[in-house]
């Protein structure tokens, strides 16, 4: 059994609710969807028991009906595991992972600035990457945001 | 911990120490830094959003301009992701050419860094030497690709230009010259006492902190973390090439210097293997205009560390999402750690030692959709007026007297 298949098996036996969601895309690439309320138990398991100790980045995307958030974790010298949650589009809110990875600070500020996702527990700090005078309600990576709207604020 | 002796000093976004905009707010007690915070984002250009409104091929050229120095890194990371989604089998010769340009880019970037590092510690002779030598590799890049930066070598499915035997000979000649020069730099880095004394014990990042803060590239490797995407997650031709991952245990700026200089030697070794073993055959396969629905993650060891791209397609000719995480963003947290309890005078070299690239990090001025009829751009005067007002309001400095021609536009 390959390392990837082995990990898939372990994940599915530990978290029965993840059955059929863990995908081995190719060597060194895996992904899985998980419900938002079960996210931290799986995230914690991958980090603390499966040694996924590097957070490559966090990708956020507007899926129109929801927001998708992908945590790209990697195991030293090996697999990149993309763990995805979908959150409500009306009231997008997630909890910070800076308790696990300090570098997530910038990635989470990006989610907040570019997509308007509220990050619970994120320490106060500068906004990133948009300028300080950028309107708070404008989130450029949302699909309904069009570039010309910026001109009104210029 | 606030103390009446503490002084807060804003450093940037425009300042003489580094050539890119980034703002630091440092708290000083005497000459020592007790706390620091960094503000970046001044180079945010909305590239990720712009990618969603353009075709894959247009995106490739846009992505290549995320950064002038590691342009090939970003372009390769992007095409790799798109090729994976489309299920394209890229010809081996193309993969070798990608690695060749990648290593040439690493050489020019590391030599550039070495010069900047020399400059930051007042060793400008080193800057003159390395930048002169860097011209050798710039000439080779121009010979192979037609450009000194933004090479335009990649295309979805392969590369756009082949390497001729005559060009290969020129590459080898250049590598010989550069290797000779690099041996001289190794000698300087390991024997020149001013360098050793100035850089040792400066900007310390322990192995534990490097791992905890997610450091990448030479910054991580100089703290003993053998993290290198070329080995960990081989792409292009790296799976077939023999090279060492250079690490250092000193965990300081000195270690970061040694790692980069020795990496130059590995780059020469890699280039010689590529030229010797480059397979014959086509350099590209035809790629569809519409990319089938799917997603892919792609990693690339840029000169500064792991460059991470994520692409999601929806079956059309334009991507649904393109995400770029450049190496500097991963190293920003580490910089705050390195500055803790250090002298103010060490700040420029400590920051320079991660080889920061904020243009890359901030990627993404707002997109001017010049093709569409709704397009509008922010005129230069408006930007100028905004900046004058900003300073007046936020910093209490009034530049309006010097800029009377804009007087009509001032609100405050």
Position A14 in a domain: yes
Six-digit token pair at A122?
């994120």
Position B374 in a domain: no
Answer whether A3 touches B (CB < 8 Å): no
Position B64 in a domain: yes
Position A129 in a domain: no
How far is residue B351's CA from residue B347's CA, in Å, rounded to a whole number? 6
8 Å CB contact of A126 and B37 = yes
From chain B, pick out residues whose CB is under 8 angstroms from the CB of A55. Answer: 214
Nearest CA in chain B to A100: B212
How far is residue B111's CA from residue B137's CA, in Å, rounded to a whole number? 10
Answer whether A133 touches B (CB < 8 Å): yes
Which residue segment(s) compose the domain that B400 sits in?
380-409
- Chain B closest CA to A57's CA: distance in Å? 7
Per the prediction, chain B carries an average pLDDT of 90
Position A125 in a domain: no
Global confidence as pTM: 0.89
Position B369 in a domain: no
State the pLDDT at residue B366: 38
Position B1 in a domain: no
State the pLDDT at residue B368: 43
Residues B297 and B390 reside in one and the same domain: no
Q: A with B: how many residue pairs have Cβ under 8 Å apart?
A: 110
CATH code (residue A31) = 3.30.460.80
Position B96 in a domain: yes
Position B370 in a domain: no
Position A31 in a domain: yes
- Chain A closest CA to B198's CA: distance in Å? 29
The radius of gyration of chain A from alpha carbons, rounded to an integer in Å, stands at: 17
Q: Which of B329, B353, B344, B328 is nearest to B251 (CA)?
A: B353
What is the widest separation between alpha-carbon atoms in chain A?
Answer: 58
CB neighbourhood size of A16 (10 A) = 7
State the pLDDT at residue B18: 74
- Could you read off the pLDDT of B147-182 as tens digits, one per residue? 999 999 999 999 999 999 999 999 999 999 999 999
From chain B, pick out residues whose CB is under 8 angstroms from the CB of A47. Answer: none
Residues B326-354, mean pLDDT to the nearest whole number: 90
Residue that the structure tokens 């996924």 belong to: A52
CA atoms in the 13 A half-sphere facing the CB of B15: 14
From chain B, pick out residues whose CB is under 8 angstroms from the CB of A140. Answer: 46, 49, 366
Where does B121-164 have alpha helices with state H?
Answer: 124-145
Contacts for B100 with CB less than 8 Å, ≥ 6 apart: B144, B163, B171, B271, B274, B275, B278
Answer whether A152 touches B (CB < 8 Å): no
- Could you read off the pLDDT of B23-46 as tens digits, one per residue? 888 899 999 999 888 888 888 999
Query: What is the ipTM, given to two decimal places?
Result: 0.95
Residues B331 and B404 reside in one and the same domain: no
Domain count, chain B: 3
- Chain A closest CA to B5's CA: distance in Å? 23
Residues B283 and B180 reside in one and the same domain: yes
Phi, psi (deg, nearest 5) at residue A17: -70, -10
Residues B149 and B278 reside in one and the same domain: yes
Q: Please determine, for residue B294, whether its predicted confidence score (pLDDT) is greater than 70.
A: yes
Position A33 in a domain: yes
Which residue segment(s) compose the domain that A29 sits in?
3-120
Residue that the structure tokens 């997008």 belong to: A92
Residues B228 and B118 reside in one and the same domain: yes
Contact of B100 with B241, CB cutoff 8 Å: no
Least confident of A149-153, B50-54, B295-299, B304-308: A149-153
Domain count, chain A: 1
Contact of A3 with A11, CB cutoff 8 Å: no
- Could you read off the pLDDT of B63-78 as tens digits, one per residue? 999 998 999 999 999 9
Q: Please determine, for residue B90, whether its predicted confidence score (pLDDT) is greater than 80.
A: yes
Q: Which residue has the higher pLDDT, B18 or B151?
A: B151
Six-digit token pair at B188?
């300087």
Identity of the residue in B84, B214, B363 whose CB atom sits nearest the CB atom of A101: B214
8 Å CB contact of B333 and A102 = yes
Position A100 in a domain: yes
Helix, strand or coil for residue A56? strand
Query: How sure is the predictor about B389, in pLDDT bands with cuts at 50, 70 and 90?
Result: confident
Identity of the residue in A82, A106, A148 whose CB atom sits nearest the CB atom of B374: A148
- For residue B392, what is the DSSP state? I
State the pLDDT at residue B61: 96
Residues B29 and B54 reside in one and the same domain: no
State the pLDDT at residue B381: 72
Contact of B257 with B117, CB cutoff 8 Å: yes
Position A114 in a domain: yes
CATH code (residue B217) = 1.10.645.10
Residues B230 and B196 reside in one and the same domain: yes
State the pLDDT at residue B157: 97
Position A16 in a domain: yes
Query: How sure is the predictor about B364, in pLDDT bands with cuts at 50, 70 and 90?
Result: very low
């Amino acid at each position: 059994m390959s390392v990837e298949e082995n990990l898939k098996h372990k994940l599915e036996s530990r978290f029965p609710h993840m059955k059929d969601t863990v995908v081995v895309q190719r060597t060194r690439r895996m992904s899985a969807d998980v419900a938002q309320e079960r996210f931290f138990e799986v995230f914690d398991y991958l980090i603390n028991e499966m040694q996924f100790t590097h957070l490559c980045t966090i990708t956020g995307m507007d899926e129109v009906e929801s927001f998708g958030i992908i945590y790209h974790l990697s195991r030293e010298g090996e697999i990149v595991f993309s763990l995805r949650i979908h959150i409500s589009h009306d009231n997008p809110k997630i909890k910070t992972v800076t308790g696990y990875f300090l570098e997530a600070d910038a990635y989470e500020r990006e989610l907040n600035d570019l997509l308007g996702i509220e990050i619970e527990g994120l320490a106060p700090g500068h906004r990133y990457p948009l300028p300080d005078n950028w309107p708070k309600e404008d989130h450029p990576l949302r699909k309904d945001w069009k570039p010309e709207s910026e001109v009104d604020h210029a | 911990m606030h103390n009446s002796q503490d002084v807060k000093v804003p450093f940037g976004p425009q300042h003489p120490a580094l050539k890119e905009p980034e703002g630091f707010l440092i708290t000083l007690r005497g000459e020592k830094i007790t706390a620091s915070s960094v503000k970046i984002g001044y180079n945010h250009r909305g590239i990720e959003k712009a990618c969603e409104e353009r075709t894959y091929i247009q995106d490739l050229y846009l992505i290549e301009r995320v950064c002038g120095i590691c342009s090939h890194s970003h372009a390769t990371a992007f095409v790799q992701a798109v090729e994976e989604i489309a299920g394209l089998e890229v010809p081996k010769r193309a993969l070798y050419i990608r690695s060749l340009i990648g290593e040439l880019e690493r050489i020019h970037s590391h030599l550039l860094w070495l010069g900047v590092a020399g400059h930051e510690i007042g060793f400008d002779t080193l800057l003159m030497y390395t930048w002169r030598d860097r011209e050798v590799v710039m000439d080779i890049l121009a010979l192979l690709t037609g450009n000194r930066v933004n090479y335009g070598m990649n295309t979805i499915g392969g590369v756009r230009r082949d390497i001729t035997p005559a060009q290969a000979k020129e590459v080898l000649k250049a590598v010989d010259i550069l290797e000779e020069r690099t041996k001289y730099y190794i000698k300087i880095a390991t024997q020149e006492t001013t360098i050793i004394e100035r850089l040792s014990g400066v900007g310390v990042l322990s192995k534990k902190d490097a791992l905890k803060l997610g450091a990448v590239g030479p910054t991580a490797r100089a703290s003993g973390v053998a993290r290198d995407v070329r080995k960990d997650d081989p792409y292009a031709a790296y799976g077939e090439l023999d090279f060492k991952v250079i690490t250092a245990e000193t965990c300081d700026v000195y270690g970061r210097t040694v790692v980069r200089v020795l990496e130059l030697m590995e780059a020469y070794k890699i280039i010689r293997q590529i030229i010797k073993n480059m397979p014959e055959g086509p350099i590209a396969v035809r790629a569809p205009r519409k990319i089938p629905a799917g997603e892919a993650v792609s990693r690339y060891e840029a000169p500064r560390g792991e460059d991470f791209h994520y692409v999601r397609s929806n079956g059309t000719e334009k991507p649904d999402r393109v995400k770029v995480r450049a190496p500097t963003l991963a190293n920003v947290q580490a910089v705050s750690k390195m500055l803790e309890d250090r002298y103010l005078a060490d700040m420029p070299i400590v920051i320079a030692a991660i080889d920061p690239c904020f243009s890359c990090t901030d990627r993404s001025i707002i997109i001017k959709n010049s093709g569409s009829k709704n397009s509008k751009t922010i005129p230069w005067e408006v930007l100028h007026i905004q900046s004058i007002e900003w300073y007046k309001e936020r910093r209490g400095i009034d530049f309006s007297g010097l800029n009377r021609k804009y007087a009509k536009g001032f609100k405050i």
